Chain A
């Protein structure tokens, strides 16, 4: 069968599955809509968290980024997994014991202040919208590349699917759909990786294949270092970024991960505190399967690309090159007219440009796998984008209906609250879709924003709220505002006001905008502690609450107090 037919069949089956699950698990109460009734098993929650967390960027782009940056790509690998250790040890169990529905809920109660809550809601909305626009775009791109429909139609179709199960099913529908989406995406990611690993190194486990030897007996990584240096690139296993910058970016990504509202909220859905701890562990196992495979795909991909193109006749290039040339992801330009491809580090002489997304998207073709595998990768990319989009939309709708509307109209009925949550989710889908079709030029730029903001705003106040009973509302508000203003100011300056000076000579302490959230976080901590010291301690009831959340017993189901 043709590739296109297979893609339609596999994507169609996966969509039918998601819709079926959504109908089967639709939410009947706000309790089910916000946190799936609080009865999700740790294993299912771990899988759902993994799918929620791994976005189109993790699935489609990350391996390619590592292909072209080698060792420097490690910031994403460590940053996006190490955050789960912080989450499991410092946040998840205590927030579960606290037992409400959202991060702004916690900030508002712990700091006995609606102002603090509103600041938290604004952060949550900003982070989630930034992210969700990127996911919708991802859905559109997968559609347009594999199903040969215009991006706009792809986005609209993706919107309809997400609308259907997020608006109908709420957190309950999303959770069980995400479990299915995790299975689809991990299968789609591993099949090509395993085959390529066997072909190149004879070892079916990609994690071992990365450290394996090629058919000619030379080690893959050493050979790759040699080939790349010869062509004028930096060696694969050595760093190009400064140690300070590597350190700060990794820290900002880790802390940012632990502060992302759509990830934190997943730990409210399990029955007990010990389940929250355990499900963070399961989540990281499921994430680690993909994250330890990605560097292998990265190295295999760049090695295969160089082997099959460098100094080869243009007329004899493999078929996948011309397939992906049609989508403009690969471009060959015979600058010196010798009829061969020169792939070299010097941009003036380089004749081959490759988009990073090709490393995953074209992996089945590079490995000459059967056509159904191509369709599987398309379904996997779609699953990654849809699951993340749904999780974010839920945070947006909860923020609007519960954190904004209910805070100021505490006496609305549950039925009305549920309706507002659904309307908010619907509006958010439409808005996200609009940005997916008309992406603002700065979507890529604002990714640094989302993590920087989460790191500089939420993380310190939540940690301090749990581990200190002395921190008060004045401290928390000034901490969040200090962290936010500094981080936003730094990123806006280098990304929008003065992009031409965005280089290491002008950066503060040599820290790039991607890593500045770490400094924002430190400033937040400092402001928080200093201001609290000079202002009155929190009321006794709040101090008692802090003591209470430190003890697992008596968690019960998350509920309205």
Chain B
């Protein structure tokens, strides 16, 4: 199957859009909330946790897990939509 045709281009563009959005979230929760803005976030509390500290040691990891599963679901749907899924 040629991947140069418009349909495959559209598939790849949607794939890149998905990656872009998920990687922005990936960056914001770890480098953003956990490192760059940790002091500002530490002014807030989540239960007994300082918020920035919680993102650095717990929250970012939970978000990472969610991101991968969102990616899995989204890509499976995209594969079916463009008829490139596996049997």
Enumerate chain A interface residues (CB-CB to B < 8 A).
Answer: 66, 71, 73-74, 77-78, 81-82, 84-86, 88-90, 93, 207, 210-213, 219-222, 237-239, 243, 246-247, 250-251, 254, 272-274, 277-278, 280-281, 284-285, 288, 291-292, 295, 547-548, 550-555
A–B pairs, 17, beta carbons within 8 Å: A74-B56, A77-B60, A78-B30, A78-B56, A90-B19, A222-B48, A250-B34, A251-B31, A273-B86, A274-B75, A277-B68, A288-B65, A547-B4, A550-B8, A553-B84, A553-B85, A553-B86
B62 within 8 A of A: yes
Cα distance, A81 to B61, chains bound together (Å)? 7
Which 6 pairs from chain A and chain B are nearest by CB?
A547-B3, A74-B56, A219-B48, A281-B68, A295-B57, A211-B49
Partner of A221, one of B23, B50, B84: B50
Contacts of A89 in B (CB 8 A): 19, 22-23, 67-68, 71
CB <8 Å contact, A71 and B86: no
Question: B10 contacts the other chain (Cβ, under 8 Å)?
Answer: no
CB distance from A234 to the nearest CB of B (A): 13
A77 touches B36 (CB 8 A): no
Tell me, rounded to whole Å, the shortest Cβ–Cβ distance linking B33 to chain A: 10
Q: Is the CB of A82 within 8 A of B26?
A: yes
Q: Given the interface contacts A82-B60, A247-B36, A291-B61, does A551 sit within 8 Å of B26 by beta carbon?
A: no
Query: Could you say which residues of chain B place their CB within 8 Å of the CB of A285?
Result: 65
Other than the given A71-B56, A90-B19, A552-B79, 6 more pairs (CB < 8 A) read A84-B68, A85-B68, A213-B48, A246-B35, A288-B64, A554-B1
Query: Which residues of B sit under 8 angstroms from A243, Cβ to Cβ?
Result: 35-36
Find out whether the CB atom of B79 lies under 8 angstroms from the CB atom of A74.
no
Q: Which of B30, B79, B85 contacts A82 (CB 8 A)?
A: B30
Cβ-based interface call for B47 (8 A): yes
Return the chain A residue nearest B23 by Cβ.
Answer: A89
CB atoms of A550 and B64 under 8 A apart = no
Question: How many Å lie between the Cα of A243 and that of B37 in the bound state?
Answer: 10
Q: Are the C-beta atoms of A77 and B57 separated by less than 8 Å?
A: yes
Chain B residues with CB below 8 A from A288, complex form? 61-62, 64-65
Residues A281 and B8 in contact, CB atoms below 8 Å apart: no
Taking a contact as CB atoms closer than 8 A, the residue among B61, B84, B86 that contacts A272 in the complex is B86
Q: Is the CB of A281 within 8 A of B72?
A: yes
* Chain B residue, CB-CB nearest to A77: B57
The dominant DSSP class at the B interface is: helix
CB distance A85 to B67 under 8 Å? yes
User: In the complex, A272→B19 CA distance in Å?
Assistant: 20
Least Cβ distance of B4 to chain A in Å?
Answer: 7
Q: Mark B18-44, 1 if CB is under 8 A from A, else 0.
A: 010011001000110011101000100
Contact residues in A for B8 (Cβ distance below 8 Å): 547, 550-551
Alpha-carbon gap, A552 to B81, bound state (A):
13
Please name the residue on chain B nearest to A90 by beta carbon: B19
Tell me if A274 and B36 are in contact (CB < 8 A). no
Question: Measured between C-beta atoms, what is the minimum distance from A207 to chain B in Å?
Answer: 6
Report how far A219 CA is from B26 CA in the complex, Å.
30
Q: What residues of A have a CB within 8 angstroms of the CB of B22 in the complex?
A: 85, 89
* Contact between chains at A78 and B34 (CB < 8 Å): yes
Contacts of A85 in B (CB 8 A): 22-23, 26, 64, 67-68
- CB-CB under 8 A from B61, the residues of chain A are 77-78, 81, 288, 291-292
Contact A237 B53 (CB under 8 A): yes
Chain A residue with Cβ nearest B18 = A89
A238 to B43, CA, bound (A): 12
Closest Cβ neighbor of B79 among chain A residues: A552
The distance from the CB of A447 to the nearest CB of chain B, in whole angstroms, is 21
Closest partner residue, chain B, to A547 (CB atom): B3
For B60, give the chain A residue with the smallest CB separation.
A78
Residue on B nearest A212 in the bound complex, by CB: B48
How far, in whole Å, are A552 and B4 apart by their CA atoms in the complex?
15
